[in-house]
């Protein structure tokens, strides 16, 4: 995987306006996947993060709980 495709957790928090707690929770329940760790940071696939966060937000807006969303993804 090329470097330009990876995004750090701190960049996700800024770019997508979510909290670290939300990012950690989504990662812990399997909605988002860490590609690799870099020092104290975590790297995610940029395209996958964007696609999944859009899908999660859309389904949450439709009223689906995260436990159902995690099964849908």
Domain boundaries, the chain: 3-72
3 falls in which pLDDT band (50, 70, 90)? low
4 falls in which pLDDT band (50, 70, 90)? confident
Measured CA distances, 50 to 14, 32, 40, 41 (Å): 13, 10, 22, 18
Q: In the predicted model, is pLDDT for residue 1 greater than 80?
A: no
Query: Residues 6 or more apart from 8 whose CB is under 8 A from it?
Result: 38, 41, 42, 43, 44
Q: What is the pLDDT of residue 54?
A: 95
Strand-pairing partners, residue 41, are 38
Q: What is the pLDDT of residues 10-64, one digit of tens each?
A: 999 999 999 999 999 999 999 999 998 888 789 999 999 999 999 999 999 999 9
Q: Name the CATH code of domain 3-72 (choices 1.10.1660.10, 3.40.50.2300, 3.40.30.10, 3.30.1360.40).
A: 1.10.1660.10
- How far is Cα 40 from Cα 9, in angstroms, rounded to an integer? 10
């Amino acid at each position: 995987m090329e470097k330009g495709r990876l995004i750090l957790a701190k960049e996700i928090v800024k770019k997508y306006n979510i909290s670290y707690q939300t990012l950690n929770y989504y990662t812990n329940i399997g909605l988002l996947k860490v590609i690799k760790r870099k020092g104290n940071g975590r790297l995610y696939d940029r395209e996958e993060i964007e696609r999944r966060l859009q899908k999660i937000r859309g389904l949450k807006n439709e009223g689906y709980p995260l436990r159902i969303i995690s099964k849908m993804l």
